[in-house]
C-alpha cells in the first residue's frame, strides 16, 4: 500500500466499523445551508440545478423540480452518461436506469429501459400510476409508450463513434470519473424541510447487455426518508449495491451522523470490504432535513453542484485515496 494512502486511511479511522459520530475527523467540515437547497452530482448538475430551481420557483413543488432538473442532463446529447447521448452497452444498445422518490416515501423506477429519452419521467409515472416500484426492459418500454412517451433512437453519432473505437480493443474495465460527468443524482430540500430526489443514468459504458446498476435501486443509488434526509450515489454501481449504500447513509444520519460523516463512513466501509476499491470510483452525496449536506468519494475528481437562493456553484468532494491513478 502506498505510504500516503496508508496514512490517510489511518487519519480517517478507516476500519469499516461504525464509529461514534463524535469521533469522526471531519466534523468541522460540516456545512449548513438555508432552505430551499438543491444539490446534484457532477458538472452537468449545475445547469440541471438551475432548471430545478426555476421549476421550484414556479410550481413550489420539489418533486417537479428534481424531475425537471435531471431531464436537462437526460436530454443533452453532449452528456454521454445519462439519457440521450449516453454511451451504449458492449453490444451497442443504450439502456437506461432511473429512480425518483418523494417526501411521502413513495418511489418509482425503471431499469434496462431502451428508446426513451427521459426515463426519470417514466419512473415518476411508475410511482404515480402503478402499484409497483420498478418496471424493467420491454415492460417498462411498453408502459412508457402506453403513457405517451415517444420511441427514439438514443445512440448519437458521437456515442456510436466512441463505441466503434472501443470495439477495437473491447477492453472491459471500470473507468474512474469518465469525463467527469457521470450519473446525475439530485437531492432537493424545500423551505418546509420536505425532500424529493431523483437519479438517472445510462450506466457504465460498455456494460454487459442487460446489466442494471445501482441508480434505479431504492437504497442503493438513491434513498430518501423524509424524517431524516436523502442520499445519492455515483460510480461503480456494483460496489454501491453490495453495501446498500444510500439506505445505510440515511440510516446513519438517523442515528446522529452528519451527512458528511455518513458519506465518509460508507466510503470507509467499501474500502474495508472491497479489496479492489483502489481501482474504481464511488461517490456519495447526502443532505439532511436541516439543510446540512456532505459528499465523499473514493478518489479525487468527484464534484457536485450546489444551488441555494444566494449561491450556485460547483464544489469538490473530499476523497479517501490520496493518489489519483493517472493511467485511468
Ligand atoms: C451505474 N452508478 O450504473 C452508475 C454509473 C455511474 O458515475 O454513476 N457513473 O453503476
Domain membership of residue 101 (yes or no) is: yes
Domain assignment present for residue 26? The answer is: no
pLDDT in tens, 106-128: 999 999 999 999 999 999 999 99
Please give the average per-residue pLDDT across 39-49, as a whole number: 96
Residue 241 maps to which CATH number? 3.60.20.30
Query: Looking at the domain assignment, is residue 3 inside a domain?
Result: no
CA distance linking residue 222 with residue 183, whole number of Å: 11
Q: Is 123 among the domain residues? A: yes
E strand intervals along the chain: 31-32, 37-41, 96-101, 107-113, 134-136, 184-189, 195-201, 222-225, 229-235, 282-288, 292-297, 303-308, 312-316, 318-319
Whether residue 13 lies inside any domain: the answer is no
Burial of residue 283, with CB atoms counted within 10 A of its CB: 0-12 exposed, 13-18 middle, 19 or more buried: buried
Summarised one tens digit per residue, pLDDT across range 175-192 is: 655 544 589 999 999 999
Which residue would you say has higher pLDDT here, 11 or 18?
Answer: 18
Q: Looking at the domain assignment, is residue 14 inside a domain?
A: no
d(CA 42, CA 234): 9
Q: In this predicted structure, what is the pLDDT of residue 170?
A: 85
- Asked if the model's pLDDT at residue 289 lies above 60, the reply is yes
Our answer on whether the CB atom of 294 is closer than 6 Å to any ligand 1 atom is no
183 included as an active-site residue: yes
pLDDT at 16 over 60: no
pLDDT band at 171 (very low <50, low <70, confident <90, very high): confident
Structural domain count of the chain: 1
In a domain, 62, yes or no: yes
Give pLDDT, residue 172.
72
**Hey, whose CA ends up nearest to atom 9 of ligand 1?**
235
With respect to residue 7, please indicate whether it lies within any of the assigned structural domains: no
> What is the predicted pLDDT for the residue at 182?
82
For cell 490517510, name the residue.
8
Ligand 1 centre and the CA of 23: distance in Å? 31
**Residue 234, ligand 1, Cβ within 6 A:** yes
Indicate if ligand 1 lies below 6 Å from the C-beta of 213. Answer: yes
Q: What is the pLDDT of residue 323?
A: 60
What three-state secondary structure class fits 133?
coil
Instruction: Output the CA 275–ligand 1 centroid distance in Å.
Output: 19
Mean local confidence (pLDDT), 57-80: 96
Of the listed ranges 46-50, 71-75, 322-326, the one predicted with least confidence: 322-326
Mutation pick for ligand 1 pocket among 98, 202, 203, 206 (CB with most ligand atoms within 8 Å) = 203
- Of the candidates 89, 230, 71, the residue with the CA atom closest to the CA atom of residue 166: 89
Task: Say what the pLDDT of residue 325 is.
Answer: 47
What atom in ligand 1 is closest to the CA of residue 185? 8
Ligand 1 contact via 237 beta carbon (within 6 Å)? yes
The answer to whether the CB of 215 is under 6 A from ligand 1 is yes
Helices (H) and strands (E) in the chain, counts: 9, 14
- How far, in Å, is the centroid of ligand 1 from the Cα of 44? 14
Phi/psi at 57 (5° precision): -65, -30
The residue length of the chain stands at 328
List the one residue out of 8, 38, 304 whose CA is nearest residue 197: 38
Q: Tell me the pLDDT band of 34, cut-offs 50, 70 and 90.
A: confident
CA of 276 to the centre of ligand 1 (A): 17
Q: Which residue in 41, 55, 156, 183 is the catalytic one?
A: 183
Range of the domain at 172: 31-319
The grid coordinates listed for 245 are: 449504500
CA of residue 199 to ligand 1 center, whole Å? 10
If one compares 280 and 216, the residue with the highest pLDDT of the two is 216
Percent of the chain scoring above 90 in pLDDT? 80
Exposed, middle or buried: residue 250 (CB in 10 Å: 0-12, 13-18, 19+)? buried
Amino acid at each position: 500500500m502506498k505510504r500516503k494512502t496508508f496514512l490517510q486511511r489511518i487519519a480517517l479511522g478507516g476500519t469499516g466499523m461504525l464509529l461514534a459520530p463524535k469521533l469522526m475527523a471531519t466534523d468541522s467540515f460540516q456545512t449548513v445551508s438555508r432552505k430551499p437547497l438543491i444539490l446534484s452530482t457532477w458538472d452537468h448538475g449545475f445547469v440541471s440545478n438551475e432548471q430545478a430551481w426555476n421549476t421550484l420557483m414556479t410550481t413550489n413543488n420539489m418533486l417537479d423540480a428534481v424531475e425537471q432538473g435531471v431531464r436537462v442532463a437526460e436530454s443533452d446529447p453532449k452528456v454521454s452518461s445519462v439519457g440521450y447521448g449516453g454511451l451504449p452497452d458492449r453490444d451497442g444498445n443504450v439502456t437506461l436506469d432511473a429512480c425518483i422518490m418523494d417526501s411521502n416515501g413513495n418511489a418509482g423506477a425503471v431499469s434496462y429501459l431502451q428508446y426513451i429519452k427521459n426515463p426519470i419521467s417514466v419512473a415518476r409515472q411508475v410511482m404515480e400510476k402503478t402499484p409497483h416500484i420498478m418496471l424493467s426492459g420491454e415492460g417498462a418500454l411498453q408502459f412508457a409508450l402506453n403513457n405517451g412517451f415517444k420511441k427514439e433512437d438514443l445512440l448519437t453519432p458521437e456515442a456510436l463513434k466512441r463505441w466503434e473505437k472501443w470495439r477495437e480493443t473491447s477492453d472491459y474495465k471500470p473507468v474512474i470519473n469518465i469525463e467527469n460527468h457521470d450519473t446525475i443524482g439530485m437531492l432537493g430540500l424545500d423551505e418546509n424541510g420536505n425532500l424529493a430526489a431523483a437519479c438517472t443514468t445510462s450506466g457504465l459504458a460498455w456494460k454487459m447487455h442487460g446489466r442494471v446498476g445501482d441508480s434505479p435501486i431504492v437504497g442503493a443509488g438513491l434513498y430518501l426518508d423524509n424524517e431524516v434526509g436523502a442520499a445519492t450515489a455515483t460510480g461503480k454501481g456494483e460496489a454501491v449495491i453490495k453495501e446498500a449504500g444510500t439506505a445505510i447513509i440515511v440510516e446513519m444520519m438517523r442515528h446522529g451522523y452528519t451527512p458528511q460523516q455518513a458519506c465518509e463512513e460508507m466510503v470507509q466501509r467499501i474500502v474495508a470490504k472491497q479489496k479492489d476499491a483502489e481501482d474504481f470510483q464511488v461517490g456519495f452525496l447526502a443532505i439532511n432535513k436541516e439543510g446540512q449536506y456532505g459528499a465523499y468519494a473514493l478518489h479525487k475528481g468527484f464534484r457536485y453542484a450546489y444551488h441555494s437562493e444566494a449561491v450556485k456553484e460547483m464544489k469538490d468532494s473530499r476523497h479517501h485515496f490520496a493518489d489519483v491513478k493517472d493511467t485511468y
